[in-house]
Amino acid sequence: MSLKPNGNYRNLKESYLFFHISKKVEAYRKEHPELPLYRLGIGDVSRPLCDAAIQALHAAVDDQAEEKTFRGYTPECGIPEFREAVAGYYGRRGVTTDPEEIFVSSGASDELGDILDLFDASSAALITQPAYPAYVDASIMAGRKVNFLTACPENDFLPLPGEDTEADLIYLCSPSNPTGAVYNHEQLREWVDYANRRGAVILFDAAYEAFVEGDLPHSIFEIPGARTCAIEICSFSKTAGFTGTRLGYTVIPKELEREGMNLNAMWVRNRTTKTNGISYILQKAGIAVFTEDGLRQVKESIDHYKKNARVLMSALDECGIRYWGGRNAPYIWMACPDGMKSWDFFDLMLNEIQVIGTPGEGFGEAGEGFFRLSSFGKPEDTVIAAERMKKLLKR
């Protein structure tokens, strides 16, 4: 008998969302090469890295050129200065973490898949849907049972657990991709209490925390009780534009144990076996992001994207179209007009006004009838796209 591949891959659905979008866009471009396109579909950033990060990158490259400052392998879980900088960032919001609870990563996507090593394959995943597609696919690849909880207008796209909710591993994304919805303290408390009662573990994806304003939580660890039931996965991608630079971090409290096994210690064991650390140069850039200058510069970029979001929201307001998100998140989740299906609405926007968004159905069945607009585009494109949407959709 020949080698047996991981048969769980047979259970994956075709990952067609962005592929299908790019095929449609390419076909349209070929037919209408003269028409400019306005891209509000991407989850990638358009602003360059902030100056503090760039200066740190240059300096760290120079360090590698001198024998005295050269660094070889870095500690697998993160260089101490990096772990302290992240712990300091949490401390600014009154969340106490030990630097040894912070693990450097090469981004949230990598970590969302890798972290599943900590849990037995028999543990079922609970995913609120519409969802970032990686949660479902990484769980299926690991042979895990997946249950869904629907996020919809009736629950403001913020579903809560019921007594009959079954879950071992709970994926929560707040602010959410794709809906832009953000859980408040009371709602997260319900999840934390539920997870502690059940012995479940929450995987809290905080990739968009830097967009949160006011009294809403940035971190699950702002909630009492979270240290015994949660892991937080975060990234510099959307905070500081590191999508192509690649850097993230994961927080695993030392109190987090199941069946007498300590998850923080297990992750140390995992990282020291499966990685040889993350680039010294990148970690230096990450440290610079969390300095006073870095945080100020990063906020300027986020404010710039928020301005785009306001332009889009005001266009939707003028058209009388219902939407969610946009205020504490880079995404606006709009209801397709007249009950249209999301791919039909995608075609309408592309063919009539050359504006490209993301059909909600691509984030799971619960996303049908909705459409995601991103504020990560260039302001000049966003303004034109908003004007065109008003012309097309105003009743």
Region of 199 on the Ramachandran plot (φ > 0 left; ψ -120 to 50 alpha; else beta):
left
Q: What's the min distance (Å) between Cβ of 197 and ligand PLP?
A: 26
Closest CA to 301 of 367, 375, 203: 375
Using alpha carbons only, how large is the chain's radius of gyration in Å?
A: 21
Nearer to ligand PLP, 250 or 297 (CB): 250
The residues pairing with 248 across neighbouring beta strands, listed in sequence order, are 105, 235
Neighbours of 359 (CB within 10 A): 25
Q: What's the min distance (Å) between Cβ of 239 and ligand PLP?
A: 9
Residues that bind ligand PLP (CB under 6 A): 43, 107-109, 132, 173, 177, 205, 207, 235, 237, 243, 248
Q: What's the min distance (Å) between Cβ of 10 and ligand PLP?
A: 25
Using CA atoms, how far apart are residues 74 and 162, in angstroms rounded to an integer? 44
Within the chain, residue ranges assigned H as helices are 17-31, 51-63, 80-91, 108-114, 133-141, 185-198, 237-240, 263-274, 280-289, 292-319, 342-348, 379-393
Nearer to ligand PLP, 173 or 229 (CB): 173
Closest CA to 57 of 242, 244, 288: 288
Closest CA to 157 of 389, 369, 393: 369
Q: What's the min distance (Å) between Cβ of 15 and ligand PLP?
A: 14
Nearer to ligand PLP, 194 or 236 (CB): 236
Query: Is residue 262 classed as helix, strand or coil in its secondary structure?
Result: strand
Q: What's the min distance (Å) between Cβ of 173 and ligand PLP?
A: 5
Nearer to ligand PLP, 240 or 321 (CB): 240
Cβ 302 vs Cβ 236: under 8 Å: no
Neighbours of 85 (CB within 10 A): 23
Q: What's the min distance (Å) between Cβ of 243 and ligand PLP?
A: 5
Closest CA to 258 of 122, 109, 76, 111: 122
Nearer to ligand PLP, 126 or 207 (CB): 207
Q: What's the min distance (Å) between Cβ of 172 and ligand PLP?
A: 10
Using CA atoms, how far apart are residues 70 and 266, in angstroms rounded to an integer? 30
Q: What's the min distance (Å) between Cβ of 164 and ligand PLP?
A: 27
Closest CA to 315 of 107, 128, 40, 63: 40
Nearer to ligand PLP, 231 or 321 (CB): 231
Q: What's the min distance (Å) between Cβ of 247 and ligand PLP?
A: 8
Nearer to ligand PLP, 176 or 187 (CB): 176
Nearer to ligand PLP, 108 or 256 (CB): 108
Nearer to ligand PLP, 321 or 377 (CB): 377
